[in-house]
Amino acid sequence: MTLRTTPTPTRSAGMHLRPAVAGVASAVLGVGIGQLVAVFAPGSAPFAVIGGALIDAAPAWAKDTAIAWFGTADKVALLVGIALVLVLLAAGVGLLEVRRPPVGAVIFGVLGIAVGALALTRANAGLLAWLPSVAAGAAAVVALRLLVRRLPPMAAVRHEEEGAPEPSRLDRRRFLVAAGVTTGIGVIATLFGEALRAGSTAISAVRDAIRLPAASSPAAAPPPDAAEDIPGLSPLITPNSDFYRIDTALIVPSVDPADWSLRIHGMVENEVVLTWDELLALPLIERAVTLSCVSNPVGGSLVGTAVWLGHPIRDLLARAHPLAGADMVLSRSIDGFTAGTPLTALTDERDALLAVGMNGEPLPLSHGFPVRMVVPGLYGYVSATKWVTDLEVTRFDRARAYWTDRGWAAEGPIKLQSRIDVPRAGRPVAAGATVIAGVAWLPGTGVSGVEVQIDDGAWLPATLAAQSGASASADIWAQWSLPWDATPGEHRIQCRAVDAHGRVQTGSEAPPAPDGASGWHSVRVSVDA
Ligand SMILES: Nc1nc2c(c(=O)[nH]1)N[C@H]1C(S)=C(S)[C@@H](COP(=O)(O)O)O[C@H]1N2
Ligand SMILES: [Mo]
């Protein structure tokens, strides 16, 4: 009944071509999603992971050959090579998925998980290094299943060869549109991811080229014997790479200092606008300050100490001259985050800083480059605005800041806290002479002592490290330690700090919301005989 006796070449080619197209389109989508998600896990884009692993695994002769063939384009050649292999593989995966579903989808899924696992083994891999590749695999699986659904199953294809009606022109057109859209989304996601990355790469380069001026008033240098050499105890100064990061920015803002300015306005006599060059020309002072997040639970790690370089906000506000009645400064970051800081905290003798440097470097991008606020004694959410561009002098009864709008307290003085760093809960301790050590802080006021209780024993005074206590800056945490002759069995260790006025840290427990956690940090350890 059919007029066609032999399948036309286009038709048989189409039978293999369309599954292959489905495979390739799904792979392009997956890779695009992976590259985009990698904006949140820098260095862990699927291509970067595979390329990096191949470079590391390649024997010297292969590297030499690659360089001999491609010169400085060797990395591009490698990426093109990976792309070609991926296209061939994806075409095969498409064919398999039509012939033996869900084998193709399973291969994509396994591939995503495998590259994700590989990503975790790479140097400098972050906790989320696996995410881009796993997202890529998942996206490819979903796309493949959806596209293949638009193709006749293999049985039908065979039927077709025996004369059953081939898919209509309309079906074929629909499939091609779906495959095209899938590919297009993948390409757009890739380009979008690259654009976002290019922004932060460019700003990183600008940052690397910056030489900050020396401080006119350097931070008091800790005495040479200051650093407590106890394994596991937090260092006095937290390295930038270990400093906790908390913000609402999904993508770290890329702010070019050349385009940066700060505007001070609102209830002021004179509006002040300050550029980056003007800021760097002002006297900069260096202060070590402990910063804490209000969300830090008792014993938590959302706290750290850095040496900040910046200009006192007090001096800038003096230029602007706040009007009588103003009691708050609403600081705003380039991405719209706001914090409400008591005007007094920015004008009193504590050195609230408009900071440009952190531990001897320009601020890292994720810590507010080029300019942020640091206010000793206040939780970050009410004071430490990163990427700050605007200070509005106002009143607490007129303006509400980002977290105040979400139920957190309008004012956020840091609470007196102490933490046991060693021994660590759950880690076995050997019986005999050991040490209990940690940190304690009340920035702005300072800590005069720490007491430790083992089981239900008496509270024992710990020793503060040389640079801590009365002689030290009140703005940074104190390291403390207590020798302990650990006896076999289970023990509970608790600590509590005493502030510079002799007030003892409260044992009454409060959760972080709405104004910071309280209570004593307590760890359970089991001591081996
Ligand atoms: N722009 C901006 N600045 C911000 C935040 C934010 O979400 N956006 N979070 C604040 C909070 S809640 C804290 S605890 C500190 C943390 O600073 P860090 O990430 O440098 O440790 O930044 C503060 N500054
Ligand atoms: Mo925070």
* Three-state SS letters, 63-87: HHHHHHHHHHHHHHHHHHHHHHHHH
DSSP H helices, 209-301, are: 276-281
459 within a domain of the structure (yes/no): yes
* pLDDT at 224 (0 to 100): 45
End residue of a domain, out of 350, 371, 406: 406
Q: Is ligand 1 within 6 A of the CB of residue 293?
A: yes
Residues 74 and 102 in one domain: yes
Which residue among 241, 247, 391 is best mutated to probe the pocket of ligand 1, counting the most ligand atoms within 8 A of its Cβ?
247
Residues 323 and 366 in one domain: yes
Q: Is the pLDDT of residue 479 over 50?
A: yes
Q: Are 232 and 421 within 8 A, CB to CB?
A: yes
Calculate how far, in angstroms, residue 377's C-alpha sits from the geometric centre of ligand 2. Answer: 13
Calculate how far, in angstroms, residue 293's C-alpha sits from the geometric centre of ligand 2. Answer: 4
* pLDDT at 149 (0 to 100): 85
Among the residue ranges 7-21, 172-186, 204-218, 432-446, the one predicted with the least confidence is 7-21
Q: What is the CATH number of the domain that holds 258?
A: 3.90.420.10
Task: State which residues form the domain around 482.
Answer: 417-528
Q: Is ligand 1 within 6 A of the CB of residue 387?
A: yes
142 within a domain of the structure (yes/no): yes
Query: Over the chain, what is the mean pLDDT?
Result: 89
End residue of a domain, out of 406, 426, 457: 406
432 within a domain of the structure (yes/no): yes
Residues 435 and 503 in one domain: yes
412 within a domain of the structure (yes/no): no
* pLDDT at 13 (0 to 100): 58
Calculate how far, in angstroms, residue 381's C-alpha sits from the geometric centre of ligand 2. Answer: 5
Residues 435 and 402 in one domain: no
Mean pLDDT, residues 461-466: 90
364 within a domain of the structure (yes/no): yes
Write the secondary structure of 266-287 as one string of H (helix), E (strand) and C (coil).
Answer: ECECCCEEEEHHHHHHCCCEEE
pLDDT in tens, 317-356: 999 999 999 999 999 999 899 999 999 999 999 999 999 9
* pLDDT at 318 (0 to 100): 98
Residues 344 and 483 in one domain: no
Residue 314's nearest CA partner among 349, 282, 339, 281 is: 349
Mean pLDDT, residues 188-203: 86
Q: Are 418 and 438 within 8 A, CB to CB?
A: yes
Rounded distance, CA 332 to CA 250, Å? 17
Mean pLDDT, residues 174-193: 91
5 within a domain of the structure (yes/no): no
Q: Are 329 and 339 within 8 A, CB to CB?
A: no
Residues 39 and 181 in one domain: yes
Mean pLDDT, residues 412-421: 98
Q: Are 358 and 310 within 8 A, CB to CB?
A: no
Token output for 242:
């270990």
End residue of a domain, out of 147, 180, 201: 201
pTM score, two decimals? Answer: 0.76
pLDDT in tens, 494-522: 999 999 999 999 999 999 999 999 999 99
Calculate how far, in angstroms, residue 50's C-alpha sits from the geometric centre of ligand 2. Answer: 36
Residues 21 and 152 in one domain: yes
| Count of beta carbons in the 10 Å neighbourhood of residue 100 | 11
Q: Please state the domain count of the chain.
A: 3
pLDDT in tens, 75-98: 788 888 889 999 999 999 999 998
Among the residue ranges 70-79, 92-101, 182-191, 412-421, the one predicted with the least confidence is 70-79
Residues 427 and 401 in one domain: no
511 within a domain of the structure (yes/no): yes
Q: Is the pLDDT of residue 399 over 60?
A: yes
Residues 160 and 298 in one domain: no
Q: Is ligand 1 within 6 A of the CB of residue 280?
A: no
Residues 431 and 516 in one domain: yes
Mean pLDDT, residues 132-149: 93
Instruction: Read off the pLDDT band of 5 (50, 70, 90).
Output: very low
Q: Is ligand 1 within 6 A of the CB of residue 369?
A: no
Q: What is the CATH number of the domain that holds 486?
A: 2.60.40.650
